[in-house]
Amino acid sequence: MNKITAYIDGQYGTTGLQIQQRLSAHPNVELLSIPEAQKKDPELRRQFLNNADVVFLCLPDDASREAVSLIDNPKTVIIDASTAFRTDDNWVYGIPELPGYREKIKTSNRIANPGCYPSGMTLLITPLVEAGIVPKDYAMTVSAITGYSGGGNAMIADYQAKTGNDASQAAARLKNLDLNHKHLPEMTRVTGLKYAPVFVPTVANVEQGMLVSVALHAHAINGDAEKIQQTLADTYANEAFVKLFSLNDDSQLEDGFLAPTACNGSNRIELFVFASEDRIYLTARLDNLGKGASGAAVQNMNCRFGLDETTGLTL
């Protein structure tokens, strides 16, 4: 087959650079790039947006909406990495592993790349809501630990400049304590929950890596840890990028600690179920720049163009 022509709008942001790195080594892709001297030419940008087979938008929300308005070629596939279209009925949410989503992605020219936190949360919870194990009106709390790269270039520069006491104080800090995180709408919509969860992430002084966790009480759901484990196993049995560990598997613990960095550099997401008596704790581990952003975008492209989804990606 002819190579897929791809253009990245916003290629110098964190996600854009990671997508560029992956596509540069992709055997089925030809990367298009506006010459340096012409980067501010709006008409040339419009031409690239319309002439590419696939366009990756790595822009703030308003800039993504503006870029989409410039694309009038009905054949151009858009994969948007912002939050602008993740709850838009005209766009398909880009997690192929979720039941029913892969077939939609294969035929859509408008794909909303998921957020990093929702990638972990929705893969853990959506099958349980669909199976009736977790009630739709469950009072859910989601917690997460993430590397600072998820905050973009400004946060990366801020953390990397910290030394001494400043670095120690930034080792782990709660963020979004207004309880209005921008990912709440997609978390709620994709999982099918009636109410948005309480969600407060912790930013750690590591560059990348992520743990997303949900605590459940067996008395408040319709099942137990064994039923949750089996449901997740059945849902993701044939998924190359999803690894589910056994119930209460401690093989990944080091002196009792679960580190957020083990999936870094890959498009893999690891799922864990821990339980004791009435208490159940679900955790997803992923690279916030991989399965949580750029790796997911490339996987969505592979899915849309009929390629093996693992092409150009590290398991």
Concatenating the DSSP letter of every residue in 114-153 gives PPHHHHHHHHHHHHHHHTTSS-TT---EEEEEEEGGGGHH
Q: Is 58 a catalytic residue?
A: no
Count Cβ atoms below 10 Å from residue 217 Cβ, excluding itself.
Answer: 12
How far, in Å, are 8, 19, 41, 48, 129 from residue 44 at the CA level? Answer: 14, 21, 5, 6, 46
How far, in Å, are 53, 261, 290 from residue 265 at the CA level? Answer: 26, 9, 7
Selection from 57, 130, 69, 65 nearest residue 94 by Cα:
57
CB 50 within 8 A of CB 73: yes
CB 14 within 8 A of CB 149: yes
**Angle value at C-alpha 268, between 267 and 272, nearest 5 degrees:** 150
Selection from 236, 291, 290, 298 nearest residue 111 by Cα:
298
Instruction: Classify each residue of 170-204 as buried b or exposed e, where b means 16 or more C-beta atoms within 10 Å of its C-beta.
Output: eeeeeeeeeeebebbebbbebbebeebbebebebb
Catalytic residues: 116
